[in-house]
Amino acid sequence: MEQRQVLLYDTSLRDGMQGQGMSLSAQEKVRVVRKLDELGIHLIEAGFPGSNPKELELFERLADVELRQAAVCAFGMTRRRDLPAEEDEGLQVLAGTFAPVVTLVGKTWKLHLDKVTKVSPGENLEMIRDSISFLRARGKRVIYDAEHFFDGWREDPGYARECLLAAAEGGAENVSLCDTNGSSLPAQIAEATSAAIAELSVDVGIHTHNDLGCGVANSLAAVERGASLVQGTINGIGERTGNANLTSILPALQVKMGLRVVSQKQLGRLTETAHFMDELLNVNSDPDQPFVGRNAFAHKGGMHVAGVNADARTFEHMDPELVGNRRDLVVSELSGKGTVLSRAEQAGLSLDAEEATRALRTLKEREHRGYQYEAAPASFELLLRRESGSYEPLFRLESFRVITDKREDGKVQTEATIKVWVEGERYVRTAEGNGPVNALDAALRDAITDRHPHLAEIELTNYKVRILDEHHGTGAVTRVLLDSSDGEREWGSTGVSENIIEASWEALVDSLEYAFQPDPDSSTREPGSERSRARSSGG
């Protein structure tokens, strides 16, 4: 018997960005889209096309991005009142976007009709039907988000049902039931979802929020009653207490409920993806998060460790490697060696058991010092290369110096001087920049591109700093994350130090050395992944 398919719909880039402190650049959002595609997410909501300069840039960039599986969704609202759909500017923008799928949100709860949109129940139904029909006539697949559906259902189930039917009549391929205020409990979600599925001839989805701490449970309850699409965000980011957490929902659906969602290989990227998102957002990963947290499969001692050593099922509800996590037995330095070997294989490197053990030891020591590699695959690959003996240093540093002057007129000037040895020849270079990292980058690039001109194509596209021990004030250890690109590919590198310049230098050097390393056998790498970066002279 074929497994039932459930689709995942990620709204991290739109709904997730409404959370406090959540912000990503357009280029970072493109990295997220690629990462979600690798994870196997079926539908990725990019946001409102053209609503602001960042969204405009994002949709322009995404138009040229080739995805293996995911479909990009543009988000918008039903037409304005007293205006035909074909004259509504927002709908025209949606119709003109490259995105094959459009998600429209509309009202379901009469309270909002009275207090917000100021339209009659009948006109609201026409707004829903007309908007979807307009987009369908222009070749768009349409998902309809029934906003505040469960609140509306509890107040007036008859009218809530009419709203869903209007969406289906307009041509929506999926009608998603939204618990917008996060006000519902699993039993309420289950009852209303069953009723909606009984009424509709189209697929039903679920979109929940976590205000009662039930976002994941509510989503699973809806799927149990027949919902075939689940909306949520990576790590549950979002407004107030967040959205339903896809990082928990995905393995629950596939591992616990036996449903078909993504491939097993894609499921194995879940932990990496969750931590990648945290790094880009510059927030600390929750170590206690189910499935992907560092403590999710940690065993500290005594009976638990003995039990796990005898049979992991004694104190683990599943194999952590299924989601790309690792078992952490504090008493064993071999904990996680399989993960290192797997990552090395994915990078096209061959490590024997001794090299993998050494790499794991180095990894744990560096993690203890503050390094994180989830969003810095370049730095992690270099670590593995050093242990495997395939590492090729780009240059040897003799010294560098950075001088920053603030003038009376308020202008700040930064100058960097470096002394390096490249292939046996000494280079001394000085460059100015708009900051110490920019100046160091310019000086170093000036020296090494004499021998390696293709590295001039590498650009630093993002620079983030995180303070790791705030109680030390200005003397705290800092972690730097650099994103780099050669115009076609992107990668991340990291550095850690009490000196922010040193940490930045380490991340900068890793970025360039990663681009300098020779390509391993491409057949061992996965096309399109962050590990399959070309590093030949032609880029």
Could you tell me the CA-to-CA distances from 315 to 255, 261, 299 in Å, in that order? 17, 26, 9
- DSSP letter assigned to residue 4: P
DSSP state of 118: -
By the 8 A CB rule, do 103 and 62 touch? no
Q: Which residues have CB under 8 Å from 302's CB, separation 6+?
A: none
Residue 307's pLDDT band (boundaries 50, 70, 90)? low
Q: Alpha carbon of 287 to those of 248, 294, 295: distances in Å?
A: 14, 5, 5
Residue 488 scores a pLDDT above 80: no
* Helix (H) / strand (E) containing 381: helix 377-388
Query: CA-CA distance, 307 to 344, in Å (whole number)?
Result: 29
DSSP 50-62: TSSHHHHHHHHHH
Distances (CA, A) of 462 to 24, 31, 328, 438: 10, 12, 32, 11
Has residue 529 got a pLDDT over 60? Answer: no
Angle at 520 between CA 516 and CA 526, to 5 degrees: 110
Nearest by Cα to 313 from 299, 301, 331, 300:
299
Q: Convert the pLDDT of each residue in 332-385 to its tens digit.
A: 333 466 667 767 877 788 888 888 888 888 888 888 888 888 778 899 889 999
How far is the C-alpha of 446 from the C-alpha of 433, rounded, in Å?
A: 13
pLDDT above 60 (res 83): yes
Task: Please tell me whether residue 64 adopts helix, strand or coil conformation.
Answer: coil
| pLDDT range class, residue 206, cuts 50, 70, 90 | very high
Go through 488-499 and write b for each residue having 16 or more CB atoms within 10 A of its CB, e for each that does not. ebbbbbbbbbee
The mean pLDDT of 385-411, rounded to a whole number, is: 90
Average pLDDT in the 507-519 region?
88
- CB 65, CB 38: distance < 8 Å: no
Composition of the chain by helix, strand, coil, percent to 5: 45, 20, 35
> What domains sit in the chain, N to C, each tagged with a CATH number?
7-262 (3.20.20.70), 338-391+457-539 (3.30.160.340), 395-451 (3.30.160)
**Which token pair is 193?**
């979802």
CA angle, residues 146, 150, 155, in degrees to nearest 5: 115
What's CA 520's distance to the chain center, in Å? 27
Query: Distance between CA atoms of 482 and 503, rounded to whole angstroms?
Result: 10
Q: Is the pLDDT of residue 403 over 80?
A: yes
- Alpha carbons within 13 A on the beta-carbon side of 40: 20
